[in-house]
Amino acid sequence: MATPPLVAACWRRPVPHTPVWFMRQAGRSLPEYRAARGSGDVLAAISDPALAAELTLQPVRRYGVDAAILFSDIVVPVHAIGFGVTVEPGRGPVVAEPFSSKADLGRLRPFIPEQDAPYVGEAAALVASELGPDVPLIGFAGAPFTVASYLVEGGPSRTFARVKSLMHADPAVWHALVERLADMAAASLASQVRAGASVVQLFDSWAGALSPGEYQRFALPATQRVFEAISPLGVPGILFGVGTGELLGLMAQAGAHAVGVDWRVPLDSARARLGPRHAVQGNLDPAICLAPWEVVAEEAREVLRRAGRATGHIFNLGHGVLPETDPGILSALVELVHAEGRAGVLPR
Amino acid sequence: MATPPLVAACWRRPVPHTPVWFMRQAGRSLPEYRAARGSGDVLAAISDPALAAELTLQPVRRYGVDAAILFSDIVVPVHAIGFGVTVEPGRGPVVAEPFSSKADLGRLRPFIPEQDAPYVGEAAALVASELGPDVPLIGFAGAPFTVASYLVEGGPSRTFARVKSLMHADPAVWHALVERLADMAAASLASQVRAGASVVQLFDSWAGALSPGEYQRFALPATQRVFEAISPLGVPGILFGVGTGELLGLMAQAGAHAVGVDWRVPLDSARARLGPRHAVQGNLDPAICLAPWEVVAEEAREVLRRAGRATGHIFNLGHGVLPETDPGILSALVELVHAEGRAGVLPR
């Protein structure tokens, strides 16, 4: 059995074509998603294994992407242990009583996936069984810094003032917080791998808010802890963030096999900063997908050119699919990447 | 009469001490600001020359910063010609009928400062007269891309999807739009210089949302147009943006004398990317100012160390002062920079 292209790309092995998937490929841009999901709470949808599996599979059916990613949210583990997190439509995760001091560590007990959120593994198993061996399922977890930012800020933030204040003012509590979140992320990813995921992605979406010094001191160690913990499972890991141009050299030390970058850093520059031991994932600007197809196609070709012919490129957007995206554009993108992407192509 | 330190730093000449000011130094963090401003509309406050001058002067009195910056907003010119812009508290500029096509160019007639917004020059003249020759007034304008982003999106955006779609789909209309905005910015800055401003800063706050290719094609030319237009006035110009790590090499071509960078790029890296012909401004993270003073002091010293002993460093935050900042911290920061900042210090 051949290794699926996405998995091979993570290992920087030759592939039959450049693999492609889209962050938030299961989402509001799809009419079948809106029909299946309705207007209910996203955490409720995630806790319904059949529904979560269906939403995970929809974009594979429609687009023919090279991977499914489990329909989930970065706050699932903290929600499941009762920290008090909701996800507000159009806003994001909101925490009623934010984490503010050492005493709040007591609210973060270990996360036991099979007990606290059995639906995650159940959904992953349903998806893996449906997909079969040719299309991999990507396991999903939030990175410690980004999850912590919601717990401390109480919701989405533009300035990250509270979280930065806490990390600088009380590094011991900060490190205890992100270590617990690292263990929760690792436990969740391990349960997804046991259920059939063959790649994992750690979302550190807001890491780019940190200075390089802050990232090194306050985010990288806990991120390393996640990848170290899951390393024995033998599946490749992808580390993703937005606005991480200054951080790529440090992110290369996290233990991931591939690093996702947004559209701000051309992939040849990203490769130079990451070094030769990492695959790259990205990096078409999701906003470009709202432009006419000729523009999308030209920008996608530029991504492929910048990624080069070396092995180890996973085509993706630089951030999630925007809800107003025309699914037809994404279908055409998959076709273009499969036809024209030549990264590490097998000799014919 | 000696050249004020901030002006000298822009020209990369020796200074008696590293000059320091803070973006949004006139703002909600000051009790005297809240007292003078009340809860009225910010555009109304800007159009009251005595009030705008008072708000401009307050931080100079309190902090002893090396410059005043005119209390203004980047949408003042487009508001003044009747494009239909309001500024919503806690949200920012909002446009009732966003710019969407060529026909909207007709809504952007030339801005004649003395007729359309005489209060800007009047406020600048009041401030300059009060400050005298030792403390410079910085003129204020929004850069074409950032102003255009509000006009096209209709308000603040996280994705800039509409503005990117427009620039790619209809480059001719886009260039016509930003050229008009460039001429308006240049006219506004020129009027402020005539009224007594001796430095200008062009705020391209959201430039960092663009890829390097987009910045070069869609933002840089109009930015160059602003600095070219005001070049005969002989005052130094500062170009500021957030998240611009990948753009600094291009921003060095804009015609500014100094470039402001945020905390993501250490100033030694910023200098390397900008080359030797530019001063740098920045770059303490405003969120750090909410941490205990020892943390603020250490981070400020790190900024000074990274800026080095070469001439041409203006100490500032990497973005505006956060409303919850303790003014005492900013006072202490000014003292620290004046005592310890040694960038291009005059031989004693």
Residue ranges of domains in chain A: 5-340
What would the mean pLDDT of A214-223 be, rounded to a whole number?
98
Asked if the Cβ–Cβ distance from B246 to A245 is below 8 Å, we say yes
pLDDT of residue A348: 60
Cβ–Cβ < 8 Å for A230, A141? no
Cβ contacts of B169 on chain A, cutoff 8 Å: 291-292, 295
Bridge-based pairing state of the strands B92-95 and B85-88? antiparallel
pLDDT of residue A346: 82
Asked if the Cβ–Cβ distance from B291 to A213 is below 8 Å, we say no
Asked if the Cβ–Cβ distance from B287 to A212 is below 8 Å, we say no
CATH of A5-340, one of 3.40.190.10, 3.20.20.210, 3.20.20.60, 3.40.50.1100: 3.20.20.210
Cβ contacts of B295 on chain A, cutoff 8 Å: 168-169
Q: Best of B170, B211, B267, B296 to disrupt the A interface by mutation (most A CBs within 10 Å)?
A: B211
Residues of A with catalytic annotation? 24, 28, 37, 73, 150
pLDDT of residue B345: 85
Task: Give the pTM.
Answer: 0.96
Angle at which helices B220-230 and B144-153 cross, to 10°: 130
Cβ–Cβ < 8 Å for B65, B334? yes
Asked if the Cβ–Cβ distance from A243 to B246 is below 8 Å, we say no
Q: Which residue of B has its CA nearest to A263?
A: B211
Q: Residue B164: which of A210, A212, A288 has the nearest Cβ? A: A288
The pLDDT tens digits along chain B (348 residues) read 689 999 999 999 999 999 999 999 999 999 999 999 998 999 999 999 999 999 999 999 999 999 999 999 999 999 999 999 999 998 999 999 999 999 999 999 999 999 999 999 999 999 999 999 999 999 999 999 999 999 999 999 999 999 999 999 999 999 999 999 999 999 999 999 999 999 999 999 999 999 999 999 999 999 999 999 999 999 999 999 999 999 999 999 999 999 999 999 999 999 999 999 999 999 999 999 999 999 999 999 999 999 998 899 999 999 999 999 999 999 999 999 999 998 888 876
A vs B: CB pairs below 8 A? 88
Cβ contacts of B265 on chain A, cutoff 8 Å: 246
Cβ contacts of A266 on chain B, cutoff 8 Å: 211-213
Tokens 């209060």 sit on residue = B119
Whole-number Cα distances in Å, A12 to A203, A246, A314: 21, 23, 10
Q: Which residues on chain A place their C-beta less than 8 Å from a C-beta of chain B?
A: 159-162, 164-165, 168-169, 208, 210-213, 243, 245-246, 263-266, 269, 285-288, 290-292, 295, 299, 302, 322, 324
* pLDDT digit string, tens, across residues B80-117: 999 999 999 989 999 999 999 999 999 999 999 999 99
What is the least distance, in Å, from the CA of A89 to any CA of chain B? 16
pLDDT of residue B347: 75
Q: Which residues on chain B place their C-beta less than 8 Å from a C-beta of chain A?
A: 159-162, 164-165, 168-169, 208, 210-213, 243, 245-246, 263-266, 269, 285-288, 290-292, 295, 299, 302, 322, 324
pLDDT of residue B348: 61
What is the least distance, in Å, from the CA of A160 to any CA of chain B? 7
* pLDDT digit string, tens, across residues B174-221: 999 999 999 999 999 999 999 999 999 999 999 999 999 999 999 999
Cβ contacts of A302 on chain B, cutoff 8 Å: 213
What is the number of other CB atoms lying within 10 angstroms of the CB of residue A339?
10
Cβ–Cβ < 8 Å for B181, B141? no
What is the least distance, in Å, from the CA of B197 to any CA of chain A? 30
pLDDT of residue B1: 62
Q: Which residue of B has its CA nearest to A324?
A: B161
Cβ contacts of A246 on chain B, cutoff 8 Å: 245, 264-265, 269
